[in-house]
Amino acid sequence: MKRILAASLVAAMSWGVASLALAETGEQAVKEKTVAKTVKERGAKERMMPAPEVQLKRLAKGLKLTAAQQKEIRPMLKDEYAALKEIRQDENLTPKQIQAKVEELRTATVAKIKTALTPEQSEKYDLISEEIKANKQKRMQENRKTRIGTQSSPPKQNVK
């Protein structure tokens, strides 16, 4: 009798743990979808990056682009902007997938733009890009600090 009771107790506990794990997985999926929806809604209201003409104007001023270089770079920026819109409108992507696709697209566009630049302009472009990344990282740390308190450093990532 005790064995049957113990076996049924173990089975009930196993069933409870399994249903709890499934419930957490379901809740996590719902939470991920909610976060993705929020990101997409904000993305629809806010621009992920300036319009191509604004970018071109900034590049022309900062790098002293010639008219021929501007003419060559303009379609690259327009293509990137169109691709960004498609990525933002894709309902099936998670925020991490969106981020990865945007980074991949940006890297490809930068490589294309650099083919139109002189070596001096390319060097200056790299310096400006590094400065922008540093400022972005600083803003992210400040935002994290205000959100979660004094721990402003990102969590350590495992390097494989």
pTM for the whole structure: 0.59
What separation in angstroms does the CA of 78 have from each of 49, 73, 115, 128?
Answer: 12, 9, 17, 21
At CB < 8 A and 24+ separation, what contacts does 99-105 make?
102/48, 105/80
Asked if pLDDT for residue 26 goes beyond 90, the answer is no
Instruction: Look at 43-57, 83-97, 112-126, 142-156 and tell me which has the smallest mean pLDDT.
Output: 142-156
8 A C-beta contact, residue 128 and residue 62: yes
8 A C-beta contact, residue 73 and residue 116: yes
Q: What is the mean pLDDT of residues 36-48?
A: 60
pLDDT averaged over the chain? 81
Question: In the prediction, which pLDDT does 71 show?
Answer: 95
Q: Calculate helix-pair angle for 2-45, 67-89, nearest 10 degrees.
A: 140
**Token pair of 63 as six digits:** 């790098």
